Amino acid sequence: MADAATQIQETITANPVVLFMKGTKEMPQCGFSSRVAGVLNYMGVEFSDVNVLADEGIRQGIKDFSDWPTIPQLYVKGEFVGGCDIITEMTLSGELDTLLEENGVTFDKDAADKIREANG
């Protein structure tokens, strides 16, 4: 069995967008995870979800891996992007759009604009 860091590295290498979260994208188990998964789902971003509640090794391992103390954690093309507050700010500023575009990740630009309009 691979250690948590190896599992995490393999997961973020194999998937263009990964959200380490409490619960799943269909059934988030905390408000912060729900917010980030909701943004990604609404924007039509294809992403892999990793339920940290299902594996204590991954739950602690992802915090050590990123040197970031909280969950959820979003990775795009193997790079750590941030947690809920950072993803929220990036969504509202348009930075998330740019990051996704630069990395060739497909998303619904109109949906992203609607999020900004609703929160403007």
Sorted by where each starts, the structural domains of the chain and their CATH numbers stand as 4-118 (3.40.30.10)
Amino acid 2: pLDDT: 65
Locate 61 and state its tokens: 């391992």
| Residue 2, CB-side half-sphere exposure with 13 Å CA sphere | 10
Q: pLDDT tens across 62-117, in order? A: 999 999 999 999 999 999 999 999 999 999 999 999 999 999 999 999 999 999 99
CA distance 94 to 22: 25
Using alpha carbons only, how large is the chain's radius of gyration in Å?
14
CA distance 18 to 117: 26
pTM of the entire structure? 0.96
Q: pLDDT tens across 17-34, in order? A: 999 999 999 999 999 999
pLDDT band at 1 (very low <50, low <70, confident <90, very high): very low
Q: Calculate the alpha carbon distances from 22 to 76, 80, 116 in Å.
A: 18, 17, 25
